[in-house]
Amino acid sequence: MSRRETSLTHVLTLVVAREGGSLTQPLLDAACDLLRAGAPQVLSPGEAADIPCRALDAGELDRLRTTLRELAGATPLDMVLTKARGRRKGLLVADMDSTIVTSETLDDLAAEAGLFEQVAAITKRSMNGEIDFAGALRERVGLLRGLELAALDRVWAHTRLTQGAKTLVATMRAHNALTALVSGGFTAFTARVAELCGFDLHRANVLHDDGAVLTGTVGEPILDRDAKLRTLEELTAQRRLKPAATLAVGDGANDLAMLGAAGLGIAFHAKPIVAAQIANRIDHADLRALLFAQGLASSAFAED
């Protein structure tokens, strides 16, 4: 093995959002030239490819991302850097709102109560890390006091999965990984999302009701960023995995702790505070990008 080959300890995965363009050979060639890298391996024609490369620090990865996106022009390009060894993960811990589903379910409940703007403003500040998550959750739930339980069903009726969510979970499970949906939202929704996607387990906060309407209170303790981190650590130990063998994905400030602790933490269409702190992020592509980041070709994806 040559010295150059032994220095290629990492893999840069390039992914293009399918609806927005194509991963062209000239773009792949440009990436290889910039990295002085090995030959690319196509994972999905026109969509994703792996490029063997040396280790890059966060600053180098950011500069490379900026350069390649300039070369890509209007093509929506993402990239994830991983170590070449141990890319397949044995645990997936995923946030729900604005990650596995496209919406913020609490904000949608607020819309049912005619309080969307007021609650959404608090949600935005919380997800950006501007205010305490637990306090913000209690405040928002308090505003929902008296909302009829039927509103939960109405919100669920227009809740949509993020593209690639079912494929992500099904493929992880097909490769013997444990999959967990862990949300600062509510079990009223995580239970349904977990069943629809096939997650092995779900954890979230519990909304209180009197059988007819919401009481404006939530079960304690609040499932917050620390609880998400503890869940990651607990399930890692339960499966007897090394931390490097774990994958976490989320978009908000309450996901930062678990994203930072996971072997591969991916900020998915994330809030600015998260995108600024997590080196690997998916800004354009769908959740299938998390499978490409593990070196899986599209031909190895499980049916959703």
Residues designated catalytic: 95, 97
Best CA proximity match to 170, nearest among 190, 194, 203: 194
3-state secondary structure the chain: CCHHHHHCCEEEEEEECHHHCCCCHHHHHHHHHHHCCCCCEEEECCCEEEEEECCCCHHHHHHHHHHHHHHHCCCCEEEEEEECCCCCCCEEEECCECCCECCCHHHHHHHHCCCHHHHHHHHHHHHCCCCCHHHHHHHHHHHCCCCECHHHHHHHHCCCECCCHHHHHHHHHHCCCEEEEEEEEEHHHHHHHHHHHCCCEEEEECEEECCCEEEEEECCCCCCHHHHHHHHHHHHHHCCCCHHHEEEEECCHHHHHHHHHCCEEEEECCCHHHHHHCCCEECCCCCCHHHHCCCCCHHHCCCC
Question: What is the dihedral sign for C-alpha 5, 81, 297, 258?
Answer: positive
Strands 91-94 vs 281-282: parallel, antiparallel or unpaired: unpaired
